[in-house]
A and B are shown apart, each in its own frame.
Chain A
Amino acid sequence: MIDSEIEEVIESYLKSLKSKLPDSFEAEDLIEDLRAHIIESFNDKREQFPQYTDSQIMQRVLDELGEPEDIAQEYGIELGEEEPLEMRRSKGIRVLARLFIAIIVTVICSWIVSVMTEGRVDFWLSLVVLMVFAIAEWFVRAWQAGESSPFDILRSKD
Chain B
Amino acid sequence: MKKTTSFEESWKIEMRRGILQYAVLAIVKKHKEGVHGYKIAKDLEERTRGLLKIKEGTLYPILHRLQKERLLDVSRMEKSEAGPKRKVYVLTSKGDRVLRALAAILREYLTRLEEL
A residues in contact (CB < 8 Å) with B: 1-2, 17, 26, 29-30, 32-37, 39-41, 43-44, 64-68, 70-71, 74-75, 77-79
Is A65 touching B55 in the complex (CB atoms < 8 A)? yes
Docked CA distance A78–B37 (Å): 16
Is B64 touching A78 in the complex (CB atoms < 8 A)? yes
Q: Chain A interface secondary structure, helix, strand, loop or mixed? A: helix
Cβ-neighbour of A77 out of B57, B61, B68 (below 8 A): B61
B residues in contact (CB < 8 Å) with A: 17, 36-38, 41, 55-58, 60-65, 68, 80-87
26 A-B pairs (CB sep. < 8 Å): A2-B82, A30-B60, A30-B64, A33-B37, A33-B63, A33-B64, A36-B37, A36-B83, A36-B86, A37-B41, A39-B84, A40-B36, A40-B38, A40-B86, A41-B56, A64-B55, A65-B56, A65-B57, A68-B57, A70-B58, A74-B57, A77-B17, A77-B61, A78-B61, A78-B65, A79-B65
Residues of chain A contacted by B61 (CB below 8 angstroms): 30, 71, 74-75, 77-79
Is B57 touching A70 in the complex (CB atoms < 8 A)? yes
Is A33 touching B87 in the complex (CB atoms < 8 A)? yes
